[in-house]
Structure 1
Amino acid sequence: MAATPLSQSSATHNTSGANGRYGFALTSLTSLFFMWGFITCLNDILIPHLKAVFELNYAQAMLIQFCFFGAYFLVSVPAGALVRRLGYQKGIVVGLLTAALGCGLFYPAAVSATYGVFLGALFVLASGITVLQVAANPYVAALGPVQTASSRLTLTQAFNALGTTVAPAFGSVLILSAAVGASAEAEAEAVKLPYLLLCGMLIVLAVVFALLKLPHLHEQEDHVQGAAKVSALSHRHLVLGALGIFVYVGGEVAIGSFLVNFLGQPHVAGMVESEAAHYIAFYWGGAMVGRFIGAAVMQKIDAGKVLGFNAAMAAILVLVAISTEGMVSMWAILAVGLFNSIMFPTIFSLALKNLGPATAQGSGILCLAIVGGAVVPLLQGLLADSIGLSSSFILPVLCYGYILFYGLRGSKAQEA
């Protein structure tokens, strides 16, 4: 199962000194959130690039996200076992090195100019990111009082969103712009430099985290023993929350994946790919701003109500983008990012509420549900090929509709 969150008692003792005690560890972990946000968002640049290089339809192009997020489903369980055996810090180092290997594999993929090799490199890269997710998310939750875990995760994920905000400009300059007018082989090779740079950065981070002196935290034995006696699936709000994670990640990734092509439509903005890529920063930048705001708002307002409000606004904005043209359509779809902001950490924390000894199992189920990022974009790709790109955005609307229900009703903690 995925990484095990610490028991409440071990996470909450000495609450008054938690911030100072764990400040350095939390600061170090923000670099990881930044890096995997940066790498994940590069897929939004890679999709239109490889779509053009290999002359793919929308469904074929979405195999990029299918391979990337499919790794969450396949790797989360062994990653959880690995992290439990090695510990959080060593698990982070293994995740960084695996992600570095995946970035390095982009070099032979570019040389061979073979789509399948690109997909294989993405799977290895995503496997490393999965290990990082499994290790870092519960570690952040454990480094401080459980009462503010949702706010703390939201704040650290704001730095994840900072990575997604910076990545489009990086990818536009080094990938899309470099490919203009080039042969298919030269276009494929445009990914060499950016991913080799990322490979080097990940290796440096791995060395840094191997040398850092981070807090060594343990689960309490009675918490582990109790977990075997209680099934997380007996908690209705956990099961519904897993579906919430599935549709949220799927909807957010699907919108980001199609943004460049959406803005390139003549009735929207008619932008070339390298120009449209810069505007992805507004989508992910909105998520970053929203997370900083949400971290403060949820100190005062019920998290479920905030989640429901954001889901309703996101659905409305997507409907506006579908039904209008020009700048209204463009800015409506970009503004969705602002309301996506708090959804993942909020659903995650609401789903784990009051699970007690079943918290570890519940965390694993939620990590598996991230596979929605593989399934929903592929389904939208099939819709785009059959009913048109703009009309296919009705699928994210349905996703947000479910999240609205979960925030207002489904997240109420009770056993099935």
Structure 2
Amino acid sequence: MPEVLAPASPLSNRLLAMTESATIAMAKKARELAALGVDVISLSFGEPDFQTPQYIKDAAKKAVDDGFTFYTPVPGTLELRQAICAKLKKENDLDYLPTNIVVSTGAKQALANAILSLVNPGDEVIVFSPYWVSYEEMVKLAEGVPVPLVGSLENDYKATAAQLEAAITPRTKLIMYSSPCNPTGAVFSKEELGEIAAVLARHPQVYALADEIYEYINFVGEHYSLARFPEVKDRVITVNGFSKGYAMTGWRLGYLAARADIASACDKLQGQITSGTCSIAQKAGTAALIGGHGSADEMVTAYHRRRDLVLDIAKDIPGLVMPTPSGAFYVFPDVSAFFGRTTAEGQVIKNSADLALYLLSDAHVAAVSGEAFGAPQCMRFSTAAADDKLVEAFQRIKKSLAKL
């Protein structure tokens, strides 16, 4: 009887090549353990633990009561895009028209729109590393070639203009970075961005995707946008949103600002995939921008305190090398001192993924391996949790690491 071969997977090669989001995967493991009755402290997700400010929720309720429940224009309501333009002018000194703005279902979709609109198969995309977990996968989905540009620990993990100059080739189409950075919390200064702009000015075929979603969560001073440098403004796509600064993660609302033809391309792409984002969320976002960011400032005070709280405990954990983040709500220590050590059960900790699983099982603290962020020697811990939870989590971590 002839051998019956198992059918090949029906899934596309692009999906098979894609890696699951590491932050979502770890959060799933933490939830599964918690469902068994284990007291898990999850520091894996980048989600504020604050409620959306009341005035924003009130605007959403009014939108429902007013019957604002129909389709919206694909790039967003004119009202919201005008509010975004006013925000960009007032806070970032950037001049844009509503035709330069595309509102999406979260900043993640805005990033994907920009990448899929710009990148051709084989194009190189320089990704400042450490980077947010989805950057590389989005580039691969567009059939581009991600080129990590690794910043040194001595420079707070920030890649330099000199490194960028050396990495650019005739195939380079785009650079990507976040500031404040997820996962490191590093913030690029005006001077550093000026040097990067000077490099880009010498390479007119290269565009820049600037992820500014953590703009308001900055502990060191003025946030500066790469698009403020006139020599490169037309080649910079600025992405931002409401999830972090306004504690609106579940509302799924983000946007990009770009040259008109690039914005139009993103509009065209989005029109075939999701169309306009939630009408109610857009009314909430408009209210958020008109109301300013006083509520965000209150959250930042808490995030700053929590950062210092964690750093104070971490300094007493031997082997944990913890740089001081300048923004965002993460700490990103080098944990390589624990590689090669053995658990009480005889398991060897080979890498940060092993260490993350060990901390989940022994300390019942969920964190994310640095490998997913382009830094396999590190781990990311979110500090967007209550003070007492953070103290308890890092005390548990200290005890568990001491057992290795």
Q: Same fold (TM over 0.5)?
A: no
Higher relative contact order by CA 8 Å / sep ≥ 6: 1 or 2? 1
Q: More strand by proportion, 1 or 2?
A: 2
| TM-score (structure 2 length as normaliser) | 0.30
Q: More helix by proportion, 1 or 2?
A: 1
| TM-score (structure 1 length as normaliser) | 0.29
**Structure number, greater radius of gyration:** 2
